[in-house]
Structure 1
Amino acid sequence: MRTLAYLDKTFRENLREWKVLILALAFAPAFVYIMYGYFLAAAPAYNLLVANHDFKPGAPAEPSEAAAGLLAAWREAKHPDGNPIFHLTETDDLEDARARIKNRSADLLVEVPDGFGRALADFRSGRGAPPAALTNHADDKNLRGGMAMALSDYIAFSYTAQVTSAAMPLDVRVESVGSGKPLSDFDLYVPALLALAIIMVLFTAATSLVKEVDKGTMTRLLLSRLRGWEMLAAVSVNQTLIGLAALALTYLAAWTCGYRSDGSVALLLLIGAVGSLGVIALAVLTAAFLKSMFELLTVGTFPFFILMFFSECMFPLPKIPVLNLGTKALYANDILPTTLCVRAFNQVLNFDAGLADIWFELVAVLVLSAGYFALGGWLFFRRHGRSGTGGR
């Protein structure tokens, strides 16, 4: 009964602090729309510049048949979702093209040499002539340039093999081990954005605890029969519900942007609930070092940014393996429960994983949560109420 009474108290206080509650619920959905708008506006195609020097005899402005075919192959290349791989622009100003490569308004410059078509014809006829050569110009510090070069080279090899009737010495086949459906950049970001939704619980959970210290109401709690574990249990139930609500709103926002998944909604909620417990445990640990709401809104943002960046919610991080357990592995940033949640969300939503595929991540989050709860609860009641709630 004491737990239920305190649960009702914290629930009402969350409603009174409606600005913090709205921030927690709306932050991740807002990011969904921002990221969707960004990916929608950003051209997925690589900017390819082509300087063609191979023209038809007597027609210096008209590309040779071989050069025209290669340019058409680059233009017609598509991603699995139907979007073009390249945005191709022909140029005859090499200095301007190189400048565009340097300032990254273009990703790759390819020169098609004079005699390109003749070299292909000689190869087809078996005259033993030197092979046709393309020259790539790319900034080695631009990752998009490297990807554009790999794709353009592959298309060029395929085109020249086709027009010369040359047999390819290697046949590469792909067998998908995932869901087999193409994923856009936005699709790949959705699991991280769902994790961001439960990370926001850090503020609402810490607020529920720090406010008791800031307003001096911990004294009344010390005089009541409310025990420390009952207080944390009530806060955990309340904040888990907030985390699940934020998760549902974030997924709904992604759905309105066209995101679709065959993954289990029940598993999605299970991951969200377990992940919320991990964030709440970190909120208890954070609240142990704070005495006022001002400190929460300043110093308290530090653990939030740690969770947001090192959980791979913003960008992927290098994997630093710490422990290998059969087919499973733990990495350095797995010390944050939300990192494991991002991985589990991704497996369920984008690869149709079941409970048997994500049990390791769920167990790891629960173990981390128990450790953070134990440490955070001990520190919180030691610093703010050891003589009362912590000792009952």
Structure 2
Amino acid sequence: MKIFDIVQLNFKQLIRDKKNLFFLLLFPAVFMLIFGIGFGDNVESDVDIAVINHDNASGVNLGNELVGVIKDFNSSENESLFTVHEVSSEDKAQKMLENGSVSTILIIPQGFTSDMGNNMSSLGEIVIKGNPIDADYGIGSSVISGIVSEFSKQIINKVAGQTIPEIELKYEDLNISSSSTFDLYAPGLIVFAILMTITVVASNVATEEESGMIKRLRLSKMKTRDYVLGNLISWSFVGVIQVIIMLLVAILVGFKWEGGIYTLFLACIVGIVTTFSSVAVALIIVALSKNAKQASSISPIIAVPLSFIAGAFIPLPDCVIATINNQQIQIYEILPWNQAITAIRQVLTYGQGLDAIVMNLIIILIMGIILLGISILLFNRKISREN
């Protein structure tokens, strides 16, 4: 019953406090509108491609030569058409394609150079991957096709007395539905709304503590974990509302929602478990603050930078801390909000199911439990000192 009372109290306070309602719902929605209008139909001036060069020949390396030709290729305005990202693994390139860092993947096979010397029936098979409805992929794959054709002719001319067919191109059209920059930004903005929960929860809890309400609740034999659980339940409902409202605003300005109600349900699940971490951070802020004013001032200083670090607004650079099973782990991937952005993008932007986000949910839950454990310990210690 005590937990239900906390849930009821939080909803009453939220409805009465127009300022907190603004920060939770309207403020993130305004961001969504701005990004939707600014990036909904955005087309980059150059084409970003990821190149995986498996050609390991020493001395003359045709794979390296081909990459150099692509880098130096100029558009009609005498500017480089391609921005080439040389990456070490296909998994990493696939991630870059999914998060919008690149539009095209080019894979040069192992033995690309040695095949010419061995007079094979083909100089090798180069793979081009991308989203068939992405305009940049259409431009990139078409231009690369011409570059590779001309490159193979030059090689043939250099090899006297040998007949080597042109390089074969294999196209793999990937089922990635996003066709605008905004489709990739929108999930990050949804998580930004959930991160703003930190500011409201910190303000509410600090005010309750300063007014003596928490002390009175503890006199009724309420434990700290009951208070935390009541906040988790109430703010998780708010997290679901945030996901739905932000999605509706995103659709209004051109977001292409994939997968229907099922993927919305999955996104709401992600929103709920991610809210746990936001509530935990808010409680930690209150536990470490001297008063309500300080907690209210510190919380946005924490929440806004976390939004950038988690990748809510811009693609994040490589910052590898470990490699597991040839999979590079970025330092920001330990943040539950970064995992939430990836998960929501998978379900709402790409229309994927539960199997695509299971690992993301596990990481979000693990980090949320760790943060909640820390918050309960610190918050309980502070309350005990004051008693």
Does 1:205 pair with 2:209?
no
Uncovered stretches (5+) of structure 2, i.e. residues with no partner: 48-74, 82-136, 152-156, 158-163
Give 1:116-155 correspondences, 5 Å limit. Answer: 154=144
Separation (CA, whole Å) in 1 of partners of 2:318 and 2:249: 30
> What secondary structure does 2:199 align onto?
helix
Amino acid at match of 1:282: V
Match of 2:254 in 1: 258
Shift of 1:327: 7.7
Amino acid at match of 2:264: V
Give the conservation status (yes or no) of the 8 Å contact 1:204–1:239: no
Shift of 1:294: 2.1
Shift of 1:218: 3.0
Match of 1:172 in 2: 169
Please, what is the CA RMSD of the aligned residues? Answer: 3.5
Separation (CA, whole Å) in 1 of partners of 2:305 and 2:146: 45
Deviations 1:231-261 (A, max 9, x none): 1111111111111111111100111122223
Give the conservation status (yes or no) of the 8 Å contact 1:222–1:385: no
Match of 1:286 in 2: 285
> What secondary structure does 1:235 align onto?
helix
Deviations 1:259-301 (A, max 9, x none): 2232312111111111111211121112211233321332222
Give the conservation status (yes or no) of the 8 Å contact 1:198–1:246: yes
Structure number with larger C-alpha Rg: 1
Give the conservation status (yes or no) of the 8 Å contact 1:197–1:246: yes
Separation (CA, whole Å) in 1 of partners of 2:385 and 2:328: 39
Deviations 1:134-189 (A, max 9, x none): xxxxxxxxxxxxx9x9899748748989xxxx998323222244x24352111111
Amino acid at match of 1:204: V
Deviations 1:31-55 (A, max 9, x none): 11101221258664459xxxxxxxx
Give the conservation status (yes or no) of the 8 Å contact 1:279–1:337: no
Separation (CA, whole Å) in 1 of partners of 2:379 and 2:300: 18
Give 1:38-49 correspondences, 5 Å limit. Answer: 38-39=38-39, 44-45=44-45
Change (3 A) 1:219 1:353: same
Deviations 1:204-232 (A, max 9, x none): 22122111123233332232222111111
Change (3 A) 1:262 1:377: same
Separation (CA, whole Å) in 2 of partners of 1:268 and 1:289: 32
Separation (CA, whole Å) in 1 of partners of 2:219 and 2:149: 82
Separation (CA, whole Å) in 2 of partners of 1:355 and 1:152: 35
Does 1:370 pair with 2:363?
no
Change (3 A) 1:337 1:267: same
Does 1:196 pair with 2:197?
no
Separation (CA, whole Å) in 1 of partners of 2:36 and 2:307: 18
Give the conservation status (yes or no) of the 8 Å contact 1:208–1:235: no
Shift of 1:341: 0.5
Amino acid at match of 1:211: T
Does 1:303 pair with 2:299?
no
> What secondary structure does 1:317 align onto?
coil
Change (3 A) 1:326 1:207: same
Separation (CA, whole Å) in 1 of partners of 2:168 and 2:308: 41
Amino acid at match of 2:10: T
Shift of 1:378: 0.9
Shift of 1:351: 2.8
Match of 2:234 in 1: 238
Change (3 A) 1:350 1:9: closer
Separation (CA, whole Å) in 2 of partners of 1:193 and 1:312: 9
Separation (CA, whole Å) in 1 of partners of 2:359 and 2:177: 25
Match of 1:29 in 2: 29
Give 1:328-339 correspondences, 5 Å limit. Answer: 330-339=329-338
Change (3 A) 1:209 1:327: farther
Give the conservation status (yes or no) of the 8 Å contact 1:267–1:348: yes
Match of 2:314 in 1: 315
Instruction: State which of 223, 229, 245 in structure 1 corresponds to 2:225.
Output: 229
Change (3 A) 1:213 1:275: same
Does 1:354 pair with 2:353?
yes
Instruction: State which of 159, 179, 184 in structure 2 corresponds to 1:183.
Output: 179
Separation (CA, whole Å) in 2 of partners of 1:212 and 1:182: 44
Give the conservation status (yes or no) of the 8 Å contact 1:320–1:332: yes
The two structures have a TM-score, normalised by structure 2, of 0.66
Shift of 1:312: 0.6
Identity of aligned pairs, percent? Answer: 22
Uncovered stretches (5+) of structure 1, i.e. residues with no partner: 48-85, 90-96, 98-106, 110-146
Give the conservation status (yes or no) of the 8 Å contact 1:214–1:291: no
Match of 1:379 in 2: 378
Shift of 1:317: 1.8
Separation (CA, whole Å) in 2 of partners of 1:292 and 1:17: 19
Give the conservation status (yes or no) of the 8 Å contact 1:203–1:283: yes
